[in-house]
Amino acid sequence: MAHKPTIEYGIIGLGRFGFSLATALAEANKEILVLDASESKIKQLRSYTENALVVGELTKEVLEEAGIRNCETVIICIGEKVDVSILTTLNVISMGVNRVIAKAINAEQGKILEKIGAEVIYPERDMAVRLANRLISSRVMDYITLNDNFTIMEFKLSSKLIGQSVKHADLRNKYKLNIIAIHHDGTTITNITPEMLLQQNDILVVVGDKENIMKFEGFLSSKS
């Protein structure tokens, strides 16, 4: 039997979260495999990928036949049906998939999913936290927490830094933050050099401890 090529992402379940995730990955030119019981949803996804399959039961045999084993990362988006979510996650992990991410709708479900070896996401909670941080600060454009302390945040540049070079702004020494990208005139620059000038309307993407990011946000927002 010929070895099947590896697929970047497998998505099981096409509710609002799973469908949005699948279309976003496909539009970013990522190779995806999607499974769902809904024929209409699978038909919609076939405009993005040929690897869209209607499946009834999510048994280990069905998952094997669909090719889930060939995915580098599998995201299980079945948070509402807790028993199906847990069993499907367990089956995918047992196949040896490199990275398994599972959606949870509450802490109890999340704990079980973590115990069986999955990374857990809470879409509603995470989006609420991101929205709250955008509402709290006029400078914050977007916000992703990687763990309890480590955060990536996008900031609208304030007049305090416009015209300064990255070296002169010196965020690494002043705030222990690293600039990982700059959005400038519709272009995202990731090759950040010390000589690069920070310009009007630039958006900085920085990474670091949440406490240090908050200090930097305070500096940008202060009037002094």
List, for residues 66-76, the tens digit of each pLDDT value.
Answer: 999 999 999 99
φ/ψ (deg, to 5) at 154: -100, 130
**Model confidence pLDDT, tens digit, residues 107-155:** 899 999 999 999 988 877 666 555 555 544 445 555 555 555 677 778 8
- Least confident stretch, 15-19, 52-56, 84-88: 15-19
Over residues 194-208, mean pLDDT: 88
Residues 6+ apart with CB under 8 A from 223: none
Classified by CATH at the fold level, domain 7-121 comes out as: Rossmann fold (3.40.50)
Architecture of domain 126-221: 2-Layer Sandwich (3.30)
How does the average pLDDT of the chain come out, rounded? 84
How far is 28 from 124, CA to CA, in rounded Å? 23
Report which of 153, 102, 99, 100 is spatially closest to residue 123, judged by C-alpha positions: 102
Q: With 0.85 as the threshold, say if the pTM is over it.
A: no
